[in-house]
Amino acid sequence: MSRYGDQSIVTTGLRCRCPRCGEGKLFAGFLALRPRCEACGLDYGFADPADGPAFFVMMTTAFPATAFAVWIELAYEPALWAHLVTSLPFLLLCCVPPIRPLKGLLIASQFVHKAEEGRIAGKAGAASSPPLEPEVAA
């Protein structure tokens, strides 16, 4: 087995470590990527999770956070400031902490599966396939 072959996507991603060696830190700040791994020198230029982490966090926490706020409203009918003290911190605690590990997980997955940006085939690729003809309604 190679030096870099025994890394798990889940463990390296959730620990926010380099997907190749598992030792170097992935982030320079909270969500800002380092240019490369300080341990093995892997260039993180391939990493582009885009809005994936934010989307997945929002989609998984939207229901519990909304349900909590609605429950507070229906059960106690509090003033607006009470929602700011209860519902807003709950929403932030549900959304902010999982973003960083989820971004690390998506970057590790991109590395392992060699994901790249989609490209349209050049002239050589276009000549090999015939142009599509529109369907005619009978």
Domain boundaries, the chain: 9-115
Within 1-138, residue ranges assigned H as helices are: 9-14, 52-76, 80-112, 123-128
Q: Which residues contact 86 (CB under 8 A, 6 or more apart)?
A: 68, 72, 78
Assign residue 22 a region (left: φ > 0; alpha: ψ between -120 and 50; beta: otherwise).
left
The pLDDT value given to residue 124: 58
Range with the lowest mean pLDDT among 26-35, 81-90, 129-138?
Answer: 129-138
Residue 128, pLDDT > 90, answer: no
